């Protein structure tokens, strides 16, 4: 199956709910643009459909206002919504290119988002692309973290740098960056401990990790990826905002999209965090982490099920 096909399969639940909701909006020949009673009722229904998909109230209202302003026929409603979503999601990457290798990628997030598996999947993707990744096991607090990462490293076909139990995470990162330089490995992808934004000490630790990485290699980390669980929806945005300042996040990885009917949360994430989505997780397999394409994502949200199946 193609990357676009796998994305459509992962977003099936969201697409089916959106299709049903939009069918209710566009059915019956009701007016969409303008200020008539039918139009107001139709636009209110459209807002409900978008909010149920976790697009968020602010973005839903903005999209509805745009639909009202352009006064397009109901048959073109979906194209207007798609254009508005695409405008939000199509953001350029903001990561910095290293002056000299290795590229250091810090992966952060709260517990349970799929952070460690994301590290393994990223390493595999980059190795298959011809790079020589090195994983850094900087989660020294969770007992199962290193064995889990070891297993993913085997699946990805890459090496791991790790410290002893309760080792200083920043020291492990320093060693991993040095090892990457010595071995000619790049990128060095760092698995950090999951932490809640309410734990000030652990959030401060992220700052320390960034500073130490910069001492090991000026300019590091070059990329900081925040892993968010799509099944949590907009509730995860509250926690995410705290990572922006503490960790210097440059992009988002949205996981577990195959387990939710609220894939519209990608729009809320991009709009409210003002960050590009870099990768999306659409399954548990080692190859189920896909590079994010705004056009493919929006297409997957709105492509009818029978068309999806024929394309795949």
List, run by run, the mean pLDDT of 10-residue segments along the chain (312 residues): 83 87 66 56 87 91 85 67 92 80 95 92 96 95 87 95 88 97 97 80 88 95 94 81 87 92 90 93 90 94 59 46
* 39: nearest Cα among 83, 85, 76, 72: 72
Please state the φ and ψ torsions of residue 71, each to the nearest 5 degrees: 55, 45
User: Cα-atom radius of gyration of the chain, to the nearest Å?
Assistant: 21
The confidence score (pLDDT) of residue 1 equals 66
The confidence score (pLDDT) of residue 86 equals 94
The confidence score (pLDDT) of residue 22 equals 80
* 270: nearest Cα among 94, 95, 88, 108: 88
The confidence score (pLDDT) of residue 29 equals 47
Whole-model pTM: value is 0.90
The confidence score (pLDDT) of residue 73 equals 56
**Spatial distance between the Cα atoms of 220 and 98, rounded to a whole number of angstroms:** 8
* 226: nearest Cα among 213, 215, 236, 214: 236
CA distances from 281 to 10, 101, 137 (A): 8, 27, 21
């Amino acid at each position: 199956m193609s990357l676009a096909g796998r994305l459509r399969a992962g977003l099936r639940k969201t697409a089916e709910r959106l299709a049903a909701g939009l069918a209710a909006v566009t059915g019956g020949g009701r007016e969409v643009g303008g200020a008539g009673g039918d139009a107001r009722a139709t636009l209110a229904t459209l807002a409900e459909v978008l909010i149920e998909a976790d697009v968020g109230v602010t973005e839903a209202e903005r999209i509805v206002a745009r639909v009202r302003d352009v006064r397009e026929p109901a048959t073109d409603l979906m194209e207007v919504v798609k254009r508005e979503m695409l405008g939000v999601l199509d953001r350029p990457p903001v990561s910095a290119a290293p002056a000299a290798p290795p590229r250091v990628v810090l992966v952060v997030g709260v517990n349970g988002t799929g952070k460690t598996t994301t590290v393994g999947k990223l390493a595999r993707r980059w190795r298959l692309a011809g790079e020589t990744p090195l994983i850094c096991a900087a989660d020294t607090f969770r007992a199962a973290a290193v064995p889990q990462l070891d297993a993913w490293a085997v699946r990805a076909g890459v090496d791991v740098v790790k410290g002893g139990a309760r080792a200083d995470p920043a020291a492990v990162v320093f060693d991993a960056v040095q090892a990457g330089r010595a071995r000619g490995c790049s990128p060095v992808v760092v698995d950090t401990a999951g932490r809640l934004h309410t734990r000030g000490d652990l959030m401060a630790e992220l700052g320390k990790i960034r500073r130490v990485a910069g001492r090991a290699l000026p300019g590091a980390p070059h990329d900081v990826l925040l892993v968010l669980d799509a099944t949590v929806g907009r509730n995860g945005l509250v926690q995410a905002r705290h990572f922006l300042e503490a960790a210097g996040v440059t992009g988002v990885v949205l996981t577990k999209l195959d387990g939710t009917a609220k894939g519209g949360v990608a729009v809320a994430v991009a709009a409210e965090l003002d960050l590009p989505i870099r990768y999306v997780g659409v399954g548990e397999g080692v190859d189920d982490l896909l590079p994010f394409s705004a056009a493919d994502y929006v297409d997957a949200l709105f492509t009818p099920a029978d068309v999806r199946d024929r394309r795949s």
